[in-house]
Amino acid sequence: MSPATEDLPAAEIAAAVKAGAVSAREVVTAALARVAARNDALGAFTDVTATRALAKADAVDAARAKGERLGTLAGAPFAVKNLFDIAGLPTRAGSKINRDLPPAAADATLVARLEAADAILVGGLNMGEYAYDFTGENTHDGPSRNPHDLRHMSGGSSGGSGAAIAGGLVPLALGSDTNGSIRVPSSLCGVFGLKPTYGRLTRARTFPFVASLDHLGPFARSVKDLALAYDAMLGPDPADPAQADIAPNPVAAGLEQGIGGLRIARLGGYFATTGEPAAFAAVERIASALGAERVVEFPQADRARAAAYLITMVEGAALHLDRLRARADDFDPDVRDRLIAGAMLPGGWVVKAQKFRSWFRRAIDDAFREVDIVLAPATPCRAPLRGQRTMTLDGREMLVRPNLGLFTQPISFVGLPVVTVPVWTDGERLPIGVQIIAARWREDLALRAARALEAQGVASAPIARMA
Amino acid sequence: MNEPAFDAEALIEAMAPLLGLFVGEASRAPVKTHLEIAARYAALLEQTALGDHEEPAPVFTP
């Protein structure tokens, strides 16, 4: 395999580019060719920025020729969910309406930071409209499809991000996660995904959904790539007022420390019911590999999910109220009708939900006095079929769209850092993910555990073998 | 104390004109479903005793 033809991990590409074994132009040209060949089937990309990508590649190659020191992601192609600003393009955020916006004047900060590490942006990725989605379906751009079986959902709302990574189009992608939109497609597409702590990475120049809950983070096929991307994106940015005043915590250098000394437990209670056996079997495998015998509970996790659900409905509706009035017919009907309902909810409900958030944060802090890492399913099932609207869990029929995130939503509600790791079962074509959850600000521990699982071969993210 | 009775249809009737929103025939049933889900979640939260001094999570920093 060569980076000039295949989609190698970003770290390997960077090593090859730095060594002069391949040029950044060759790497980018190969990535653009893969997108051209596979994207009609996958529906992952909505925009391809070939001209700027080749110009950036030439700049990386020229810097190397001059003997300049290249960045940690030198020559690695990446793409971003299309709610990230890309200079020169309207930030559509999965919608029809936003295409009427003027082109973005500058890149989102995280895009600029990855390019400062000499990664190369090659395009924008498909997503559920305005990120209110767990399926990866989009009425305007068509669905992103699961590369491991195109009949199935990619998961969403960062569906294009999951599909681009699993489909071997690019080694690195960015997405957003309000209630699970990085972790759900990571689970369904079988890739690694990192949702950092709420307030860790700047959200500047990305289109919002729920300001109280919005996070950004990377997808990759290796834990090292997640860590390199995370490190490159760290740092304060006054343009995001929700960013926490906390020192950056680079993680790549400590990734191989292993799990020695870490106290790891499975989450019981809410996180051990309302799912298919595959979801709990995956947690068992990960727990066994990490030697996690204990079970702990996050108290009132059902109410945490309820509170996150209500905050999402109300803040999402408030964001879009003018558009709901003026251009209701231009929304995806599934998104519009949830937003309309959110606009009608009593204000007291959301204040109570925010009070409960304070209570739940204290309860979670208490739980993490006893453990360092907890494990939970990422999704209640493997990828449903595209177009599937309901599913039956524990004998109860429920809507697919909101309930794929029933295990992710209570976790992001209090902003905990999570690495989703993909688990495979012999004889099953589709993967399922497990959440590796750490205390707030401890992305390093979640990534170390994920890396240990990857090194053992228990979690992996192979490129899909597409027909 | 009156127990709250949730009537999604009545809420739609009252709130749609107040908000300047049009709820078309095709949207009525899904909006009602989403309101009823929200009401169930709100009822779940109502059962939690939170003190008057519990601070809501977002705290403004001047």
A52 Cβ contact list (under 8 Å, min separation 6): A88, A121
B25 contacts in chain A (CB < 8 Å): none
- The Cα-based distances of A412 to A133, A418, B45 in angstroms read 15, 9, 18
CA distance B3 to chain A (A): 16
Sheet of strand A264-267, all strands in order from the earlier edge strand to the far edge:
A45-48, A120-125, A77-81, A172-177, A215-220, A192-195, A418-423, A432-438, A373-377, A264-267, A294-296
Give the closest of B23, B40, B57 to A354, CB-based: B57
> How far apart are the C-alpha atoms of A259 and A290, rounded to whole Å?
8
A333 contacts in chain B (CB < 8 Å): 26-27, 30
Q: Which residue of B has its CA nearest to A343?
A: B19
Of the listed A81, A154, A161, A195, which one is catalytic? A81
Q: Is the pLDDT of residue B6 over 60?
A: yes
C-alpha of A216 from chain center: 7
For tokens 């090859």, what's the residue?
A: A16
Q: A145: closest CA among A194, A196, A188?
A: A188
Question: What secondary structure does DSSP assign to A66-80, as a single string?
Answer: TTPPPPTTTT-EEEE
Q: Which residue of B has its CA nearest to A310?
A: B38
A181 is catalytic: yes
Touching A: B residues 11-50, CB under 8 Å: 11-12, 15-16, 19-24, 26-27, 30-31, 34-35, 37-38, 40-42, 44-46, 48, 50
**Chain B interface, mutation test: which of A305, A337, A412, most B Cβ atoms within 10 Å?**
A337
Q: What is the 3-state secondary structure (H, E, C) of A433-451?
A: EEEEEECCCCHHHHHHHHH
> How far apart are the C-alpha atoms of A377 and A390, rounded to whole Å?
19
The DSSP 8-state label assigned to residue A32 in this structure reads H
Q: Is the pLDDT of residue B60 over 80?
A: no
A96 is catalytic: no
- The Cα-based distances of A42 to A6, A64, A96, A229 in angstroms read 17, 34, 20, 24
pLDDT attached to residue B1? 56
pLDDT attached to residue A466? 78
CA distance B19 to chain A (A): 8
Name the pTM for this structure.
Answer: 0.97
A108 Cβ contact list (under 8 Å, min separation 6): A80, A84, A85, A86, A204, A205, A206
Helix boundaries (H) for A215-346: 223-233, 277-290, 301-326, 333-343
A266 and A331 Cβ atoms separated by less than 8 Å:
no
β-pair type (A294-296, A264-267): parallel
CA distance B1 to chain A (A): 17
Phi, psi for B37 (deg, rounded to 5): -60, -45
pLDDT attached to residue B3? 66
- Total residues found in chain A within this entry: 467
B34 contacts in chain A (CB < 8 Å): 313, 337-338, 340-342
The DSSP 8-state label assigned to residue A163 in this structure reads H
Query: What share of chain B has pLDDT > 90, as a percent?
Result: 82
B27 contacts in chain A (CB < 8 Å): 333, 336-337, 340
Q: Quick check: A337 and B42 CB within 8 A?
A: no
pLDDT attached to residue A4? 66
Touching B: A residues 379-398, CB under 8 Å: none
Residue A381 token pair? 């099932």
A104 and A91 Cβ atoms separated by less than 8 Å:
yes
> How far apart are the C-alpha atoms of A266 and A272, rounded to whole Å?
9
Residues of chain A predicted below pLDDT 50: none
A303 and B48 Cβ atoms separated by less than 8 Å:
yes
pLDDT attached to residue B59? 74
Question: In 3-state terms, what secondary structure has residue A151?
Answer: coil
> How far apart are the C-alpha atoms of A297 and A300, rounded to whole Å?
9
Q: A67: closest CA among A8, A140, A18, A118?
A: A18
CA distance B44 to chain A (A): 6
Inform me whether the C-beta atom of residue B62 falls under 8 Å from chain A C-beta atoms: no
Q: Which residue of B has its CA nearest to A303?
A: B45
CA distance A330 to chain B (A): 13
Q: Quick check: A359 and B20 CB within 8 A?
A: no
Q: A399: part of which helix (H) or strand (E)?
A: strand A396-399
For tokens 């925010």, what's the residue?
A: A354
Say whether the ipTM exceeds 0.90.
Answer: yes
Query: Is the bond into A23 cis (omega within 30 degrees of 0)?
Result: no
pLDDT attached to residue B61? 74
Number of Cβ pairs < 8 A linking chain A and chain B: 101
β-pair type (A77-81, A172-177): parallel
Q: Is the pLDDT of residue B2 over 90?
A: no
Average pLDDT over residues B25-45: 97
- Give the count of beta carbons closer than 10 Å to the beta carbon of residue A48: 16
- The Cα-based distances of A130 to A242, A336, A399, B41 in angstroms read 20, 10, 19, 23
- Looking at the DSSP bridge assignments, the partners of residue A391 are A398
- Looking at the DSSP bridge assignments, the partners of residue A216 are A176
> How far apart are the C-alpha atoms of A374 and A297, rounded to whole Å?
9
Q: Which residue of B has its CA nearest to A325?
A: B21
A222 is catalytic: no
B19 contacts in chain A (CB < 8 Å): 321, 325, 343-344
> How far apart are the C-alpha atoms of B30 and A401, rounded to whole Å?
13
Question: In 3-state terms, what secondary structure has residue A278?
Answer: helix
pLDDT attached to residue B11? 97
